Amino acid sequence: MATLPSITLSPSSSSSLQPYYIYSSLPTFSPKHTLDHHPCRFRSPRQRLSSKAVPRGLRLRSAATKPARTPAEEDWKIKREYLLQKKVRSVDVKEALRLQKENNFVILDVRPEAEFKEAHPPGAINVQIYRLIKEWTAWDIARRAAFAFFGIFSGTEENPEFMKTVESKLDKEAKIIVACSSGGTMKPTQNLPEGQQSRSLIAAYLLVLNGYTHVFHLEGGLYTWFKEDLPTVSEE
């Protein structure tokens, strides 16, 4: 008699902390050929459970199927090449302040709303690119479990309203400097030959992908802005 498969939830090693499932079957014996005087067959625990081993009418389906990949989830190499192709420039914090004052650039702060309210450059606009996981589908529960495995109990997900919100606040010709906490970089180094991805670079990628033509990126992020003691306001 065939035994049911075991299901193991294993956290992914990717930055998005998205879980995946490993299906393995316990040792099973098939009496199918005993009528022809053949010995029972033994299935290795490493062998995948095939549809032939499942009783008729029973089919296994993952309760938490991952949705299709979004543009923000593209490989960093692809995003970086596109940013360079579209000539997205990185500027340091002092240059960003000058552009904001003299050239009507807008700082688009893509950090979570709570961080923005705590401190941000004057005149900055906040549209968070990631938000706390809100839904309770099987996939969302699995992601929460993966975050919890690493001791993170406030997991985030891509904000599906990001571009829609940006477009409601900034037109396609706006001059934008995208900022987040760390900033990331497109500059290659010995340890990071393709630079370092960040929320602001992902946001910049989405902007140029959707037709924005004057997009800059804040090198060093708002961490450096605050460290340099540049103008800051809060909304407490």
* Active site positions, annotated: 180
The string over 147-168, giving b where at least 16 C-beta atoms fall within 10 Å of a residue's C-beta and e elsewhere, is beeeeeeebbebbeebbeebee
Dist. CA 230–CA 212, nearest whole Å: 27
Q: Is the dihedral of CA 187, 193, 199, 204 positive or negative?
A: positive
**Alpha-carbon distances of 111 from 120, 124, 222, rounded to whole Å:** 10, 11, 10
Dist. CA 72–CA 83, nearest whole Å: 13
Dist. CA 212–CA 170, nearest whole Å: 9
CB atoms within 10 A of CB 121: 21
Dist. CA 31–CA 16, nearest whole Å: 45
Dist. CA 146–CA 150, nearest whole Å: 7
What is the DSSP annotation of 116-143? HHH-B-TT-EE--SEEE----SHHHHHH
The two structure tokens encoding residue 168: 């409601």
